[in-house]
Amino acid sequence: MTSAPHRDAPPLDELRHTAAHVLAYAVQDLFPEAKPTIGPAIENGFYYDFDRAEPFTPDDLVRLEARMREIVAADYVMTGERTTRDGAIARFRTNPYKVELAEGIPENDPITLYTIGEFTDLCRGGHAHSTGAIGAVKLTSVAGAYWRGDEHNPMLQRIYGTAWHTQAELDAYLVQIEEALKRDHRKLGQELGLFSIEEDAGGGLVFWQPKGTVVREVVQNFIREGLAQRGYQQVVTPHIASEKLYEISGHLENYAHGMYGPLEVEGQRFRLKPMNCPGHILIYRSEPRSYRDLPVRYAEFGTVYRFERSGTLHGLTRVRGFTQDDAHLFCTPEQLQSEFEQTADEAIRLITAFGFDRVGYVLSRREAHLRVNTDEIAEDAIRSALTSRGLPYTIDDGGGAFYGPKLDINVHDAIGRTWQLGTVQVDFVLPQRFALTYRGSDGADHAPVMIHRALAGSLERFFGVLIEHYGGAFPAWLAPIQAVVAPISEHQLDYATSVRDRLRAEGFRAEVDTSNEKLGYKIRHWKTQKVPYILVAGRSEVEAGTIAPNERGRDEKRPAIAVDEFVAELRDRVAQKV
């Protein structure tokens, strides 16, 4: 592998798409019975799905990776040729998957075949000039995957890999992956007793354990403080509603794939709600509104339900039921700019408090065929809010919601990974669909503008990101247990209990280790639980009315201090959210 980028230096997605072809070429050489299906580039890598009776083993991946390096070293030029649908079907007649793909292409649409060495694939393109552009490649894992993601189709074997311009980039990525495995929220969630996914209840449904629920409440209370300061009203809407509601909103037309099927009740069809916005709209519409009443700001920690295939579920970050820190604002067009700016300020407050110091803002525009005159008004409001606060942003054409442009907020965690969290959307469409009005100063009825905003996104996903960002070692203000009092022996248990009670009286989350274990074991145990403070209480501490703090992340031993002094220290850390 090379140590400097190839002369062509293609974009990483093209490099990785080429690596997927190289993988299929290697599989064809070493396992000719395997039928290649599809192999796209994905974030940080690529995969290719194969139909093969025998499972690929770790030793097979080693052999395949070695063959891939030979193909890369050969520097085969990627050549393309046009063909017809019938020509493609004839070319891949022994591979039913490629035939199905070819048959699905409209008859007059261009069809291209790409070749490296002796391997030809059906592909739309987007590749490096040659295989030699791949500076470093590694195969990472094998997993099962249904053909076209449908569980009624054959199960295939998906080989994952990653490719980079240089070996140094690959090495850095592998270090990041190793660190990510240590921070995996699914593993830490179980080890720290934060949450569980109970398969008896069904995949993708989260059970918040007591300690996880504590963190969730801290997050919710922080968000509630901001909502109260900015004049939001809390509301609660049902988890189920008539299907007609989602016909009006457009969700059945535009979002049916993400909704659970209908429930028949007394001849009427109901749906589990996939979004909170129709419910908030009905509350707005429940009484006449004047321009003097606007803006109206409704907020709800609303639980919604989305149909996700079992193969896509992933811990807390991809679930079937989740709670959003959802809010909907109804305002006049003249108020749109100030309301959006206020929402941007609240987003900044949230991500700053929770320790994200690298943030990306994306203006996601609707696809060209959906754009109308109001899109420009909405986009200007988003741009102006970001520009006035000196926040750089990028543009994603086609990434907007079906009812309007939006601002997506992406954070980078402690090891450099990007997570999409909050979103703020400007909507002129749903007020029209639901015939929302307010009486203007001119005495006429006008349609309000809606702003949809969920700044944490979902509490489940946000919690999963927080676990991985902090590696489970939450700062003191967030930690489910902020301090544990560890008596050296049972003779100090009453004193330890009194210290705990004092801390609880001050509003802190404190426990006592009542086990009969030796002190060293107690300290090791609570360190694995990532508790910010372990407060040791021995005979001398009892006599002096002190405790000896063992602080997480601090190697040197701290001297004993008065309980009042520790209370002041913890109060300061919690208040400053450090």
Q: C-alpha angle 414/417/423, rounded to 5°?
A: 105
**Active-site residue (options: 49, 325, 326, 408):** 326
- Contact (CB, 8 A) for 12 and 28: no
**Active-site residue (options: 138, 251, 277, 509):** 277
**Active-site residue (options: 452, 453, 509, 522):** 452
Known active-site residue 257: no
**Active-site residue (options: 216, 251, 271, 406):** 406
Give 277-315 as a DSSP string.
HHHHHHHHHTS--BGGG--EEEEEEEEEE----GGG-BT
- Contact (CB, 8 A) for 133 and 10: yes
Instruction: Classify strands 321-331 and 359-365 as parallel, antiparallel or unpaired.
Output: unpaired
Residue with tokens 């592909």: 123
The number of helix segments (H) and strand segments (E) in the chain equals 18, 28
**Active-site residue (options: 21, 280, 289, 306):** 306
Known active-site residue 406: yes
196: phi then psi, degrees, rounded to nearest 5: -150, 155
Known active-site residue 129: no
State the Cα–Cα distance between residues 547 and 539, nearest whole angstrom. 10
Instruction: Classify strands 35-36 and 393-397 as parallel, antiparallel or unpaired.
Output: unpaired
In terms of Cα–Cα distance, which of 67, 69, 110 is closest to 88?
110
**Active-site residue (options: 324, 342, 492, 529):** 324
Known active-site residue 525: no
The neighbour count for residue 50, using CB atoms within 10 Å, is 24
**Active-site residue (options: 98, 183, 328, 417):** 328
The H-assigned helical ranges of 306-359 are 336-353
Give the strands of the sheet with 240-242, arranged side by side. 240-242, 268-272, 263-265
Instruction: Classify strands 321-331 and 449-458 as parallel, antiparallel or unpaired.
Output: antiparallel
Known active-site residue 397: no
In terms of Cα–Cα distance, which of 135, 168, 144 is closest to 68?
135
Known active-site residue 452: yes
- Contact (CB, 8 A) for 21 and 28: no
In terms of Cα–Cα distance, which of 225, 221, 209, 223 is closest to 480?
209
The helix/strand/coil state of 261 is coil
Known active-site residue 277: yes
Active-site residues: which are they? 277, 306, 324, 326, 328, 406, 452
